[in-house]
């Protein structure tokens, strides 16, 4: 049995509409972040930016494949080891040991020793951010589509409006999946 609230609306309908509004707001906020991050990435690529982003107390092992390791007297020496290896996607540098490990493939920056420093080429780091935002957008897209399916019975008289939103969400989802495939290809390169 559906309860109605003071406005004469079904409580479940109100809840679904509120959830939809919240998810749509989150989606739009993350989409703005995605567009900004994407532009930052493209600017970084076009400028030939060779800077690295460092994360103190963290390590980068990529997919677990160590390409090269050895003595490095500075973060810059470690960065150069990576820059000189086309397959390198990041490094772990430990200044107290004066040692550097370069790695390939995808992975995550994870906690390490307090003296460890994970280093990622700025473009690679920006690409990882874009990839993460893309995944969040796809997840929210799925949630929005699910809510639209649940709202369908309430809006049968306005079915066209719901169907139009579903088509729009499906198109956005397909676009995000295509972007995700391109991003994954860039990450692997």
Q: What is the pLDDT of residue 181?
A: 81
Are the beta carbons of 5 and 17 closer than 8 angstroms? no
Q: What is the pLDDT of residue 156?
A: 64
Angstrom distance (rounded) from CA 39 to CA 133: 13
Residues 6+ apart with CB under 8 A from 155: 161, 162
Q: What is the pLDDT of residue 73?
A: 96
Closest CA to 53 of 79, 71, 33: 79
pTM assigned to the model: 0.72
Tell me which residues of the chain have a pLDDT lower than 50: 1-2, 4-8
Q: What is the pLDDT of residue 172?
A: 84
Angstrom distance (rounded) from CA 139 to CA 41: 22
Q: What is the pLDDT of residue 5?
A: 44
Structure tokens at 33: 């972040």
What Rg, from alpha-carbon coordinates, does the chain have?
Answer: 23
Q: What is the pLDDT of residue 66?
A: 94
Angstrom distance (rounded) from CA 119 to CA 187: 16
Q: What is the pLDDT of residue 159?
A: 57
Angstrom distance (rounded) from CA 58 to CA 51: 18
């Amino acid at each position: 049995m559906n309860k109605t609230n003071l406005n004469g609306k079904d409580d479940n309908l109100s809840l679904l509409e509120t959830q939809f509004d919240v998810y749509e707001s989150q989606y739009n906020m993350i989409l703005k972040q995605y567009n900004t991050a994407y532009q930052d990435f493209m600017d970084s690529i076009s400028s030939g930016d060779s800077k690295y982003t460092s994360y103190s107390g963290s390590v980068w092992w990529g997919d677990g494949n160590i390409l090269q390791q050895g003595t490095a007297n500075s973060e810059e020496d470690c960065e150069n080891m990576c820059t000189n290896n086309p397959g390198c996607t990041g490094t772990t540098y430990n200044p107290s040991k004066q040692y550097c490990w370069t790695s390939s493939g995808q992975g995550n920056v994870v906690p390490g020793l307090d003296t460890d420093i994970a280093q990622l080429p700025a473009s690679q780091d920006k690409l990882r951010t874009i990839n993460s935002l893309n995944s969040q957008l796809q997840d929210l897209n799925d949630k929005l589509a699910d809510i639209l399916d649940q709202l369908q019975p309430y809006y049968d008289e306005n079915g066209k409006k719901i169907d139009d939103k579903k088509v729009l969400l499906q198109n956005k989802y397909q676009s995000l999946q295509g972007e995700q495939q391109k991003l994954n290809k860039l990450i692997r390169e």
